Amino acid sequence: MSERVAIVTGGASGIGRAIAEGLADDGDRVVIADLNEATGKELADTIGGYFVKVDLSQRGDCKRLVDEALSHCGGVHILINNAGVQHIDPIEVFPEDTWDKMLAVMLTAPFLLTKYVWGSMKTHGWGRIVNISSIHGRVASPFKSAYITAKHGLIGFTRTAALEGGEHGITVNAICPAYVRTPLVESQIADQARTRGISTDDVVEQVMLEPAAVKRLITPEEVAALVVYLCSDIAGPITGADWAIDLGWTAR
């Protein structure tokens, strides 16, 4: 196809920004979905894309995002469910409203967006959906109950959608990174120090990097490179997989 249209949620910064730039470099028209209007519009202008301001915890915004993409671009061929939020607290004091919002953004929104783009992908007989899960979609850590629940659920949804999409030329995969150098991760360090009663330096060394064989944070561009590959024609046989970019976390 001459030009593919890709929706990237949380596309204004971090992993989402790197993915949007990578897909644009690959020749795709990118619809950037984010709450950060200033940064999102700036990036969309830079890469020749289109920006939609959305709150993915709101079901109506999920529908509006896809409707705008279809209206403005004529179709959707690629969906990257990347948007995420984090909150760190023990279960006994974890805010219930925060739980609801986190599951809405990281589990319900990917389901809704997949549902809404499915018809366009079926019409084209081709589609690529990549869900950005986490190493915490495979393993657990304390004090992240909502995040880990959502990311585990996202892998289950990925597998179900892959089974339904195969006959229509739609592949659905998940990527499970360990800690990536993003604003989301940087903001966790102080929270981890608070809940664990250790220093911020110890959080990086003992929590983020201790289980890893490769002792460094992942770059957003490294995640984006795998996304671009999974969205290619040559990756057509790959579906229902959860790809670990985990620095060796799960090698033990």
Q: How far is residue 73's CA from residue 66's CA, in Å, rounded to a whole number? A: 10
Nearest to 191 by CA among 242, 144, 133: 144
**Sheet holding 78-81: strands in order across?**
50-53, 29-34, 5-9, 78-81, 127-132, 170-177, 242-245
Cβ proximity of 29 and 77 under 8 Å: no
> Which stretches of 48-89 are DSSP H helices?
59-73
Known catalytic residue: 179?
no
Q: Where are the beta strands (DSSP E) in the chain?
A: 5-9, 29-34, 50-53, 78-81, 127-132, 170-177, 242-245
Phi, psi at residue 27, to the nearest 5°?
100, 10
Cβ proximity of 106 and 147 under 8 Å: yes
Q: How far is residue 163's CA from residue 170's CA, in Å, rounded to a whole number? A: 9
Check 50, 116, 147, 179 and give the catalytic one: 147
Number of alpha carbons in the 13 Å side-chain half-sphere of residue 190: 4
Q: How many Cβ atoms sit within 10 Å of the Cβ of residue 10?
A: 29
- Write out the catalytic residue numbers: 147
